[in-house]
Structure 1
Amino acid sequence: MRLRNTRLRTKVTALLLSLAALWSFAAWVTLREGVNLLWVAQLDSSVVGPSEPLLVELQRERRASMIQLGERSPRSRKELQDQRQRADRTKAEFETSARAGIVEWAVDDLGEKRLADMFAKLDDLASIRQAVDAGRVTRIEASAAYADVIDSVYRMYGAMATLDDKTLAGDIRTLMALSKAREILAREDALLAGALAQGRLNAEEHEQFTRTVGAWHIVAEQAASELPDADRAAYDKLIKGRSFTRLHDLETLLARQGSVVETIPFSAEQWKAATEQALTDFNGLVLGAGDRVVERATPVAVGVVVRLALAGGLGLIAVVASIVLSITTARALFAQLQKLRDAAHELSDERLPRVVERIGNGERVDVAVEAPPLQFGTGEIGQVGQAFNTVQETAIRIAAEQAALRQSIRDILISMARRTQGLVQRQLNVLDVMERRETDPVELEDLFRLDHLAVRTRRNAENLIVLSGSSPARTWRRSVPMVDVVRGALAEVEDYTRVSLMPMGDVVLVGRAVGDVVHLLAELIENAVSFSPPYTNVQVSGQLVANGYVVEIEDRGLGMKPEDLAAANERIANPPEFRITGATARLGLYVVSRLAARHQIQVVLKASPYGGTTVVVMLPQELVETGPVQPLEDEPLTSLPIRQTTATATRATATRAPATRQPARPASPQTGLTALPQRTAPPAADSEPAEEAESAAPTPTGFTPSGLPFRVPQANLVPALREEAAPTPPSLIGPPPDEQDDDLRSPEEIRAMMQSLQSGNRRGRSAAEKLIQDHQSGDDA
């Protein structure tokens, strides 16, 4: 009982302390608003107010300087000197007011920095004046120099607008923007005043004038759009008034002139009259809007004082009342909260996780049954329970949406990968046709490189399919020799020439696992080649063991840290769910883990004694077979996973004329003990009957002018029954047979081509097996 009272007392004390802290914070915030308002008022009277006359005098000095640069007469010189004296007096008054000690307390760090920058720019006026007097600057350069000084004043304004009231601070920023628009209009006036004094406007000044006209209109319109309704109406009336209409007419008249205006189509007096009136009216609009902002600021100040009184006096009374109420209601409140806590823990720790897990697995659940809402009445505790029920429903809904989103992403990845697969397969078919047709060794080597790149692209597409939880489309009905499986994996590796293939033994892999094992080995070999120095080789070997068949991939790289090896093995052994937001640095491990789990294959990474990494791939016994190797000739080419092996390397030699130089084909590097023979064309006498049947393919038919095909006698007969037919005139059958595309071959030609491919496959396989047997015989000797 004492323990419960102690905990309750602690909770009540913490509650009261929090209320006292809340009251203190509210009092401080309100007090800070009052202090902030006081500082803003001080800055307005000491900095902003004295700077407004300085801005006007600097704008007038700029105009006089532009006239002096254009006219250079004693009268303009005298006017410039008088204006500089007025500007200096105003500048001295401003600096005296802005450097007062109270200003340092009122400004923050940014305001202090902007104020110091403005003082530095004002000190640069002396050098600007000297350059104007000496004629070392053009009118555009002088205008830019004065604009830099004036802009520092506006930057200082931006740092002074620090009111906490967002509406009032926004009104102040709008007024600053309107004042900025007036400054741009003053630049336009000064630029054209100088040109009128000289009597001409060059191309650069005309371009600057056009940009300035557009700039002040844009800034003014943007600022006016933020004005209150009354000020907006005043702005619209001003813009449509007589002064701005007259100014707009002069601007338009000058803008329509050419890039170089030798004679300005109006006088300096006309321009001065238009701009002075427009600037005066514009300044009146800004000042009027400022007065109305001050009027709106008065209630804000009153509200600050009222909030200070409420937070200080009534807030303290509320804290005392809270103490009394907390003591009287603590026990009952704690009992209800304890019941709610227990029910909420049961729901959040047990029921809700089960529901979310089932939804993530794609199951349909009844939320009302699995996670019933908490019922604690309609009081305060009941409202907390209702809020928790809302959180529960939101969590379940989000879990369902996330599950649907993950499934949609998987579907998108599969769709994109399937499309890529189709395109790559079509590309491979086209490359096959081009390779069969090409006789130049150099061009044939380039085609083989493209073929290799396409095969690697296909593997990348299959990676997306595997990561999405589906299986690639490549399948294999019959068992395949293990050496061909490894060669098929090498065909999908970029730097395959650095891989040494050791004897694999007379072992075959069952057809259902061929495609996935080729993919898995390709990922591991690619990883070994990529993370080892370019001057080293990667060795691939295989052998039968008691539990199945082992393939070892060993590189001579820098290796991996023990903790990295352990993490990689854990990821492969227990593949996590693939998430797009997860780590994507080693997507190959995800692919390997998915493929290995599909066929119960064990993949283990370990340190190599040579300093690199050795990957051990254990294929279970049900995936491998021993005994005579089943020939591959009868398997459809569309499902062949070992695209660039001996069969494809021999295919070109069986269907082309002899060539003196043949490029090395991917997947048949001259490394290791199972190096493939060089591709050399067999003599014509050794060609099999299937190759002769290829040359006897029928001539394709032509078409009549109306689009109907010509009938060619004996065109659809098998080669054995076809009679020797006279050649059809070229005008009927189109281009000669050797110029037609390989995609238009007849079924007889395709069959002859396939027979030629199979015969070449047999010859190449026999030669490779003979080399292996000779090498093994030499080792035994």
Structure 2
Amino acid sequence: MRLRNFGVRTKVTALLVSLVALWGFAAWVTLREGVNLVGATTVDSGAVQPSERLLAELQRERRLTLVALGTSGRLPDKMLRDQRARTDATAVELVESATSASVQFAADAPLQRRIDEALKSAEGIRTARKTIDDGRFDRGEAADSYNEVIDSLYRMFESVASLDDKEIARDARTILAVSRSSEYLARADALVAGALAKGGFTPAEHTEFVQLSGFYRISLEQNAAQLPAADAAAYTAWAKSRAVNQLRVLEQRLAQQSDTGVAPVVTSAEWRSATEPARAGLEKLISDGGDRLVDSSVPGAVGVVVRLVLAGGLGLIAVVASIILSITTTRSLLAQLRKLRDAAHDLSDDRLPSVVERIGRGEDVDLAKEAPSLDFGDDEIGQVGQAFNTVQRTAIGVAAEQAELRRSIRDILLSLARRTQGLVHRQLTVLDVMERRETDPEELKELFRLDHLAIRMRRNAENLIVLSGSAPARTWRRSVPMVDVVRGALAEVEDYTRVTLMPMGDVVLIGRAVGDVIHLLAELIENAVSFSPPYTSVQVSGQLVANGYVIEIEDRGLGMKPEDLASANDRIAEPPEFRITGTARLGLYVVSQLARRHDIQVVLKASPYGGTTVVVLLPQELVQLDPTPESQDGDNPERLPRRQTAVATATRPAAAENVRTLKSARPQRATAPSPTGPAPAPEPVPETPSESEQEPVAEFTPSGLPLRVPQANLVPALRDDTPTQPDFEEDDDERSPEEIRAMMGSLQSGTRLGRSQAAKMLDEQPGGEA
């Protein structure tokens, strides 16, 4: 994840943590030298000094052991037993001191491992003693058992000498090398003491003595040159002492004696009188040098600690100040950013939608009031705030322009739709006149096809009106039977012959909802017909339920995916704002707007036959039981809206039914269509007649509809002096038998032609039968 994806608080916290870590590392680097020196002091007092005392006791015990083995007496004698007791006491003191908590804390892993090795080696001396007392070790093997313990102690000393201070570490290594040379002198002393007690050297012992005496002298001279000034002066004084000079003479005399079978040229008393003071002086030199080394390291540690207090303390103060400054700056920065964020959310969530909505309603909007300037100061955040002020003013201005543009587009759509609607109404009037006087079946079929296209054009114009946010002008004053409402919707569908209408029940729809319900059902039925194969049928049924009236439209198409069904139901239940770019589902948008107008519920669901079922629930306040129930096959044309009679009669098998329908529907412009041609749609009736219509109207058609009187709605000044009265010559009762026979013949010819064309269509369809 990139760093820019983290928040400001996280970034500042990471910066502070890095700063603290950097200070801690620098402080530890400064402190480590002092800690190392203090730790070395702790290790020296807790492990090194007790080890040095154990080393001296082991050297004495080794010398007494070799002397006792040389005299061939009973082991151990009193002197050796006392020495062993002192060695054991020193070993116990070393174990207690070296395993203390302070030494364990100060010692690093390698030093702790060397201390453990030394303590374990020291415990093995008890086994070596028992072997020596049993006479199973000679002088050489006995000396080697002590040498191993002493070597483990020196390995521990080497680990202690590794300090960070170069000068102190160098001096510690020099003192350690001088002490190692002293050990070789002690080995030579033990070897000579044992040989003198035995009465002479063996060839191997003589060779080893020569090597040891030469090695310790060379190593002493080399290492003494590296000693500090005070220690070098002490070494010079030791080297010139009488005991050292006497020791050097005795060593030369023993080295020159090549015969091993004769008595030594040096007595035990002479050797002891020279070696003991010489070794004591060298041990004192080493002890004093170690003490001076420890004393010199303490001031260095104190200086380091002082530097740590000065540098680390000042650095800590700087870190604390940085933390405080960062926290306060971050809080101020976050507060300003939070204010800027809240302003952005307020603009995007509240003010912009409110401005767009108000402009859409035609209200005047004061952009200066809707986009007040925000004050964030003069710093960088303030500059961002000023830029945001410009952005929000621009955004609100653009939103206002877009809202005004959308309102203008809706107004244009509404104007075009109204004009188109007016032209379609005039076209339907002309077609109505032409259909009334036409008797040729072929011409009549084409006229009805034009009539049907005009009705669909009217529905498309009404779609534009709905999209513009207005209501179509078609309204009904009286309630209409539900079956006629559905037939009215079928009249606006192109392929209405594929729709099967099931019984709808004796239910009427109140007049104010008839136009919108016809429009809604026409959209849904046409959608079902369009998205199902041409050889399938669409079934429309309806029934009363507890919550109102349900109309189900079921097709036998391919159906829809569950996610598409859910999306379509969401668009119907909660239609989004209409946009010019969203033209893919305009039908759903029109359905949702019409359904919302009357609280109608429209739900799409999967059909068990593989297609889609649309459930339309009309609320109870829109439907009523029909007080004069009639059959649903169109026997009572008085209940059919205008231009619906053709659809009703197109499905009747009996000629007598058609004749009766044509006769009763003549005053409503119901000329019998060809069954294969498109059926006209219902015409709206004005919701409330004017007072003039209520006073001239005195005659009614046989079906009970009032006859309109020309110029009845005009003011008296515009009326013709000789207004035309209703012509009742075309009443069904005045028609001659010849006219009825001609009309019936035309209907029969059209019926035969329609059946023959339907048979041809079935033959052309895949899987059709002749």
Q: TM-score, normalised by structure 2?
A: 0.43
